[in-house]
Amino acid sequence: MGYLQFLVVFGIFFVFGVVGFGVDPSLRINVFHDFVPGAEFEGVSQVQGFHDESRAFLFQGSSRGVRLPAATAQRMLQKLRGRSEFTVAVTLRQEKLNSGAMLSIHHAEQRFLELESSGQKNEVRLHFQVKGQQTHTEVFPYTLADNQWHKVAVAISASHATLYVDCNRIYERVVPVPLMDIPGDTSFWIGQRNGAHGLFKGVMQDVQILVMPQGYITQCPDLNRTCPTCNDFHGLVQKIMELQDILAKTSSKLSLAEEKMNGLDNCYCERTCSVKGVTYREDQSWTDGCKNCTCSNGTVQCETLVCPPLECPDGSIPAYVAGQCCKKCQLMCLFAGQELVEGDRRAVHHPSGLCQLYKCRGRTMHRVQSGDCPELHCPEAQQVTITDRCCKICRGHDFCAEGHFCTEHSDCLNLDAGASCSCKEGFRPLRQDNAYCEDIDECAEGKHYCRENTMCVNTPGSFMCICHTGYIRIDDYSCTDIDECSEGFVECDSHATCVNLPGWYHCECRDGYHDNGMLTVNGESCEDIDECKSGRSTCANDTICFNLDGGYDCRCPHGHNCTGDCIHDNKVKHNGQIWVLDNDRCSVCSCQMGQVMCRRMVCDCENPTVDLFCCPECDPRLSSQCLHQNGLLTYASGDSWTENCQQCQCLQGEVDCWPVSCPPADCDFMLVPEGECCTRCVSDPCQAQRVRNDITKTCEDEHGITRFSGSSWVKHGTECTLCQCKNGHICCSVDPMCL
């Protein structure tokens, strides 16, 4: 099996093996479960939350130290330790312009996991530790600090990070795999980064870390969870690498087995049938009750047995024989005008109370001993006499328990004078005494109650009504169409409308778009119609047609007497209109005769209404000053500085830090030199800390085993030499700790 085929097969198992929603409590880290703020948690108080199902806490003030007790923190961190798949979820309402951490797990200067929201930069930042004890920061441009309630979840699955806000998937990113090697004395802070910085201001509720695939479903159960996670895929790749060793070591055995199997080409292999513990060969026939069966290509095929007419000689009559379907000629005895067959018994009861028992044997009725009668435990009025025995019995006697000839689809019934067979519901008799019965095919005979939009399927003794594809069950016999559009079963292109059809649905592109018949990388298939090039626009002759996403706009050429309106962010702005940018409150734009002009807001510190957010240098208040991380330096509002590869800024008394901007390193082998912040390209693969692995560039180890790029192994003959394949290059190093 090829590598891609292997991935596909295992991927199918992952898809259909996804566990249904229902969170195991052992996988949930509920931060507020045992959270009881006391006097030492100044600035934290319990308040009304987004809902009443759990407690909510208000975080305020500029000085507090909220972290979990050591024992509680270690119990929670033990669940997170060594994991590469988890979700951080929180429901919050953050004050405007506030920049703070919802939770922070760090040891000394190492941040193992931190979720932060910046109201100054309008960003959500996720910090976590990666290989080489480096901290990776993933920045998601999004505004949470708007004093509104939001459900926030950041899902990490190996090298895949996804941000969900209010049950909407906002961003998906490829990130380095997190390394949760958390030391024992790690601190677990809530609502702040440490004792002095990153103070969150606002209300938080339902702060959780879920160590499970797709943990965001706890907030939003309706989100899709059928697909395998990135961590599932990484685990699959790791298993494949482990299987490489096994496959390589067993290749010689497989070759030997293949040689032996080649010798079987001249052998004939037949398919057999197994029925009730008995194996039958190809084309072998047998009788099963009242059916003749044949083994054909491993499948049992049966037909109802047709009994031939009997012409019995004198002194014999047709009668059923145990274990056989058709009647056989049996010797007959005449007794008191009755025709009896071999083995039948009759009792003669005298008025005096005496009884004589006779049995048919060899065409003659012979007297036999009846034996002593058992004691009856019923009133005499309930004692009855029957024809085949001398002893009386109690009414309701269990004749079936004494033995009967009813087969698997026939039930034994107790009558007043003996046992009788009756076919089970859904079966019909194959002979007069109901001892053998066959299934009634209600579907083929039209004896079912299946209605429209269903298909009748016969079952032993009954039938089932199966819904056609695209229909949902109403009751046992009828189905109705599923409205895939309203039920949310499908997600059409963002430029398409879902149209429900009987048994199916259709995604129809909206006006201004057409279906290109192909899916792009992001799953879109509706593309914009260029009305200008296709001649579909209705622009006047004195205007110029400009194509827009899903439409078009007619603009006036420069120098012509037209409206002078402008197009900005696909919106019409009228001539002379002034507006503030949605994503930058400090920039002002205006429309001037069809031209959009934008500039930064002019800071006039003499103006008492100046916006201090846009003009922090105009803020003279001492409360707006900030303290450096070392606690020794003071910065005024608007000042910036760099600390530990973070660009920091003081704004109205709050410090906000973000990663230093680095140019992209477009190469296969990369490292961060000591004392620097940005990744650089290197030519020596063995110096690289990060590798852009190419799965097609493999290595061959000392055993001749092929290794994929990114795989590692202990060198043969050593205990402490670890080798790694880096895009076709083998790099080995000695582990000092191992020595």
DSSP 158-204: TTEEEEEETTEEEEEEE-PPP-----TT-EEEESSSSSSS----EEE
CA distance readout (Å), 43 to 60, 61, 92, 193, 523: 5, 5, 17, 15, 47
* 3-class DSSP string for 688-733: CCEECCCCCCCEECCCCCEECCCCEEECCCCCCEEEEEECCEEEEE
Alpha helix locations (H) across 490-556?
531-534
214 vs 233: CA distance, rounded Å: 14
Report helix, strand or coil for 19. Answer: coil
pLDDT of residue 373: 87
Q: For the chain, what is the largest distance between any 2 Cα atoms, rounded to a whole number of angstroms?
A: 137
pLDDT of residue 12: 36
DSSP string for 363-398: TEEEEE---PPPPP-S-GGGEE--TT-SS-EETT--
pTM of full prediction above 0.75: no
Q: Does residue 488 surpass a pLDDT of 60?
A: yes
Q: What is the DSSP letter of 501?
A: E
Q: pLDDT: is 130 or 651 the higher one?
A: 130
Task: Give the model confidence (pLDDT) of 295-307 as tens digits.
Answer: 998 889 988 888 8
Instruction: Name the least confident of 21-25, 40-44, 460-464.
Output: 21-25
Report helix, strand or coil for 582. Answer: coil
CA distance readout (Å), 692 to 3, 136, 696, 699, 713: 19, 17, 12, 15, 19
For 562, the token pair is: 């037209």
Task: Give the model confidence (pLDDT) of 643-698 as tens digits.
Answer: 888 888 888 778 888 888 888 888 889 888 887 888 889 989 998 888 888 888 99
User: Of 70, 71, 115, 118, which Cα lies nearest the Cα of 207?
Assistant: 115
CB burial class (10 A; 0-12, 13-18, 19+) of residue 462?
A: middle
600 vs 460: CA distance, rounded Å: 80
DSSP string for 585-637: EEEEEEEETTEEEEEEPP--TT-TT--TTT-GGG---GGG-EE-TTSS-EE-T
Residue identified by tokens 């409206």 is 563
Task: Give the model confidence (pLDDT) of 459-478 as tens digits.
Answer: 999 999 999 888 888 898 99
Residue identified by tokens 């996720």 is 126
CA distance readout (Å), 340 to 355, 435, 617: 19, 20, 121
Angle of the 3-16 helix axis to the 230-262 helix axis, nearest 10: 120
Residue 643 contacts residue 632 (beta carbons within 8 Å): no
